[in-house]
């Protein structure tokens, strides 16, 4: 009976956390366009580290060059070598946008284990504007994005601004599963955790900060051996008294089709990254699994109350996940996959266990060992 009571309590807590997470998501002014800001806007240097290209790359990069921004813009695209497929894409776009202050930069040095940050460290000295924006290659943005991103710096104390992002191209079942993690759970969990404590991490899809603040923490070179460079950047800025702010404008992450194995490796890398960065919080995150605990309660203690609780939890999980995805993506096209959130929850249990039972991750074809401080060691192929 004691075990049944504990499982019943955990099922109740997971139900309450699901509703709380949904309420926090409903309260956030997602997609809100702020009032016009005084012009001109500050100058921005946009740094884009690139490796390879797929069918989405050109459209994503074009959305940046086509920004409607009333301020100075500089674009620096970094590749490891001129033979990188991304270099040809950039050359075409430079011809398409001849008036843009943009250039392709070859970054041949490996300044640390993190290849992305190594490119950023080589692009950083070339930035000539007061603010720096870092973005992944697969991010597509609306034309007014940079204008709205910079309005958040009008509040005193803001050191870094980032938007939420949506997984916009779930081509198959594997990517649909990952889209539930991103579009339903991740952004709403960030808002719930922010209610408990100020954000001390950044969201890596897009990050904006002052160049002076970046220099004060040693620049990107200081992060070149860290797996979670976004987390480490936010942690170091907030340690100096700065605030990490969220922009209501949502960007899209657009990817070519990925296999189940590729999606699994990505999710495992993400899980182990979070576990290394926030071990206590990640360990406690299993409590919020509103599918696991009612199922365990019913399996251990069959009866009317556990059956009813399972039904209520599943309805709440499905309804809140659907609404969170609808609000983030502004689409109801995912209704055919309404049944995926409980499946995602059960797969998440396996990822949670594996996050604590291994220290290696795969990233862009290379294997790394993650140390306790979040630094990486490159492993032999």
Condensed to tens digits (0 to 9), the pLDDT of residues 223-250 reads 999 888 999 999 999 999 999 999 999 9
Task: Kindly state whether residues 220 and 286 are assigned to the same domain.
Answer: no
pLDDT of 153 reads 92
In a domain, 37, yes or no: no
Q: Is residue 268 assigned to a domain?
A: no
Strands 366-370 and 360-363: antiparallel
Residues 130 and 227 in one domain: yes
Which of 240, 262, 284 is a domain's end point?
Answer: 262
Yes or no: say if 347 and 355 are a contact pair by the CB < 8 Å rule.
no
Model pTM score: 0.92
**Residue 379 belongs to a domain:** no
The pLDDT, as a whole number, for residue 350 is 95
3-state secondary structure 108-153: CCCCCCCHHHHHHHHHHHHCCCCEEEEECCCEECCCCHHHHHHHHH
Residue 110 sits in the same domain as residue 210 = yes
**Residue 260 in tokens:** 């189940």
Instruction: Count structural domains, the chain.
Output: 2
Boundaries of domain holding 128: 44-262
Question: Cβ neighbours of residue 295 under 8 Å, at least 6 residues apart?
Answer: 310
Nearest Cα to Cα of residue 353 among 282, 296, 295, 300: 282
Q: What is the reported pLDDT for 102?
A: 97
Report the C-alpha gap between 8 and 303 in whole angstroms. 12
Mark whether 140 and 84 lie in a shared domain. yes
CB 296 within 8 A of CB 23: no
Q: What percent of the chain is modeled with pLDDT above 70? A: 98
Domain of 91, CATH number, reads 3.90.550.10
Asked whether residue 95 is assigned to any structural domain, the reply reads: yes
Q: List phi, psi (to 5°) of 258.
A: -120, 145
CB-CB contact of 177 with 347 (8 Å): yes
Contacts of 177 (CB under 8 A, 6+ apart): 263, 340, 343, 344, 347
Residue 381 reports pLDDT greater than 70: no
Mind listing the pLDDT tens digit for each residue in 65-117?
999 998 999 999 999 999 999 999 999 999 999 999 999 999 999 998 899 99
- As to burial, measured by CB atoms within 10 angstroms (0-12 exposed, 13-18 middle, 19+ buried), residue 310 is buried
Q: What is the pLDDT of residue 308?
A: 94
> Residue 366 falls within a domain, yes or no?
no
Give CA–CA dist 10/294, Å, rounded.
Answer: 8
Residue 8 lies in a domain: yes
Is residue 218 located within the same domain as residue 284? no
Do residue 122 and residue 249 come from a single domain? Answer: yes
Spatial distance between the Cα atoms of 173 and 177, rounded to a whole number of angstroms: 6
Question: pLDDT by residue (tens digit) across 169-224?
Answer: 998 999 999 999 999 999 999 999 999 889 999 998 999 999 999 999 999 999 99
- Condensed to tens digits (0 to 9), the pLDDT of residues 106-121 reads 999 999 889 999 999 9
Nearest one of 107, 43, 112, 40 to 80, comparing CA atoms: 107
Final residue before a domain boundary, out of 262, 294, 319: 262
Question: Residue 37: which pLDDT band, with cuts at 50, 70 and 90?
Answer: low
Strand partners, 368: 361, 378
Provide the pLDDT for residue 15: 96
Average pLDDT, the chain: 92
Q: Is the model's pLDDT at 363 over the cut of 80?
A: no
**218 lies in the same domain as 301:** no
pLDDT tens sequence across 274-324: 898 888 989 999 999 999 999 999 999 999 999 999 999 999 999 999 999
Banded pLDDT at 2 (limits 50, 70, 90): low
């Amino acid at each position: 009976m004691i075990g049944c009571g504990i499982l019943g309590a955990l099922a109740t807590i997971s139900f309450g956390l699901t509703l709380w997470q949904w309420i926090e998501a409903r309260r956030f002014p997602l997609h809100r366009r702020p009032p016009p800001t005084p012009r001109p806007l500050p100058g921005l240097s946009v740094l884009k580290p690139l490796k390879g290209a797929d069918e989405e790359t050109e459209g994503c990069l074009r959305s940046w060059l086509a920004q409607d921004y009333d301020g100075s813009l500089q674009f620096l695209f970094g590749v490891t070598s001129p033979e990188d497929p991304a270099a040809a894409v950039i050359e075409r776009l430079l011809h398409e946008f001849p008036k843009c202050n943009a250039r392709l930069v070859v970054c041949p040095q490996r300044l640390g284990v993190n290849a992305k940050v190594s490119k950023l460290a080589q692009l950083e000295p070339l930035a000539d504007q007061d603010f720096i924006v870092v973005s992944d290659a697969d991010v597509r943005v609306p034309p007014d994005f940079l204008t709205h991103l910079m309005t958040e710096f009008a509040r005193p104390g803001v050191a870094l601004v980032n938007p939420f992002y949506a997984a916009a191209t779930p081509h198959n079942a594997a990517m649909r599963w990952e889209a539930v993690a991103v579009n339903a759970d991740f952004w709403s969990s960030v808002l719930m955790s922010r209610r408990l404590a100020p954000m001390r991490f950044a969201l890596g899809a897009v990050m904006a900060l002052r160049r002076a603040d970046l220099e004060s923490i040693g620049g990107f070179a200081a992060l070149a051996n860290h797996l979670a460079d976004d987390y480490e950047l936010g942690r170091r800025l907030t340690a100096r008294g700065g605030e990490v702010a969220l922009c209501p404008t949502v960007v899209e992450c657009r990817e070519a089709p990925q296999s189940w194995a590729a999606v699994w490796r990505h999710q495992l890398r993400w899980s182990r990254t979070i576990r290394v960065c926030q071990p206590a919080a990640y360990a406690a995150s299993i409590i919020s699994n509103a599918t696991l605990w009612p199922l365990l309660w019913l399996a251990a203690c069959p009866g009317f109350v556990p059956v009813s609780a399972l039904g209520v939890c599943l309805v709440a999980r499905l309804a809140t996940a659907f609404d969170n995805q609808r609000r983030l993506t502004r689409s109801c096209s995912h209704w055919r996959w309404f049944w995926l959130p409980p499946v995602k929850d059960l797969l998440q249990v396996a990822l949670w266990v594996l996050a604590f039972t291994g220290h290696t991750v795969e990233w862009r074809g290379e294997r790394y060992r993650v140390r306790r401080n979040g630094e990486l060691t490159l492993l032999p192929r």
